Amino acid sequence: MKIQSKFRTIYLFRINVFFVIFDFFCLYLFFNSFKTESVQVGLGSIIFLALSIYFHIRTLRSVNEITVLENGLQKTTLVSNKAEFIPFSSMVNIKTERISGSYSDAGQITTGYFESTVFLEDGTELLLSPDQYENYKEIVVAIRQKI
What is the per-residue pLDDT across 17-65, written as a single tens digit (0 to 9) for each?
Answer: 988 898 888 888 888 887 777 788 888 888 988 998 899 888 888 888 9
Residues pairing with 112 in the sheet:
100
Question: What is this structure's pTM?
Answer: 0.74
Angle (nearest 5°) at CA 117 between 116 and 122: 160
Distance between CA atoms of residues 113 and 86, nearest Å: 26
Q: What is the pLDDT of residues 62-121, one digit of tens each?
A: 888 999 998 999 999 888 889 999 999 899 888 888 877 676 777 666 667 788 899 999
CATH number of 65-146: 2.30.29
What ranges do the domains of the chain cover? 3-60, 65-146
3-class DSSP state of 76: strand
Distance between CA atoms of residues 16 and 28, nearest Å: 18
